[in-house]
Structure 1
């Protein structure tokens, strides 16, 4: 396998990113490969926000993974800053290659650079393989999450 580059996402990456997000039963219900306009607008908002990192992993010129990292300043935990990892996706051809681990390590290091005291993430209840993966990397399932669809 060729060298891997983790870099900020650019507009030309959107079709590949959306393809990764849609490449499972949950994502297939939520994402649309027909119109990239809302994704391009979202990338513009994310790129303008200094607390957001939308990155891609590129190998041999091909996007093979994506991840979003959000830096959240806060008052709780004595004014701690935390980060939230979201939208982690690895192309099916790359699963088991160590890319997921490398992605999470990148996010943790970026969080340290931002002086975060806590890194958190959520994972859908049905993603049991992902749960085991995150636990192997030291994450603890410590909370119950709730969502309200608007």
Structure 2
């Protein structure tokens, strides 16, 4: 496997009930990074969200992953929220 990601389509309560796409678990094999595969995967995922009528695409990434932040920003994503998690 070269790369993977997960898309979940969420019906929203905000934004007048608009659908949103949640992209998670974006991974590209280390030996294949910087070759454009991640960009192709993300562009495909964004297109799937558009096709499903989503008005927003969102994702989260670890605060320490500066390279990932630059990558997502190059795709037009904007850092906007602070997230929290609780292990159960």
TM-score range, shorter chain: over 0.9
Give the RMSD, CA atoms, in angstroms.
Answer: 0.6
Displacement of 1:126: 1.2
Give aligned pairs, total: 88
Displacement of 1:74: 1.4
Report Cα offsets for 1:38-85 as digits up to 9, x if no partner.
xxxxxxxxxxxxxxxxxxxxxxxxx10010000001121011100110
Aligned residue for 1:139, secondary structure, equals: coil
Find 2:56's aligned residue among 118, 124, 143.
118
**TM superposition outliers: structure 1 runs of 4+ over 4 Å:** none
- Quick one: distance in 2 between partners of 1:132 and 1:149? 28
Report Cα offsets for 1:66-117 as digits up to 9, x if no partner.
1000000112101110011000000112101100100110110000111000
Displacement of 1:149: 1.1
Displacement of 1:129: 0.5
Q: Which runs of 5+ in 1 are unaligned?
A: 1-62
Higher helix share: 1
Normalised by the length of structure 2, the TM-score is: 0.97
Look at both structures and tell me which one has the larger radius of gyration over its CA atoms.
Answer: 1
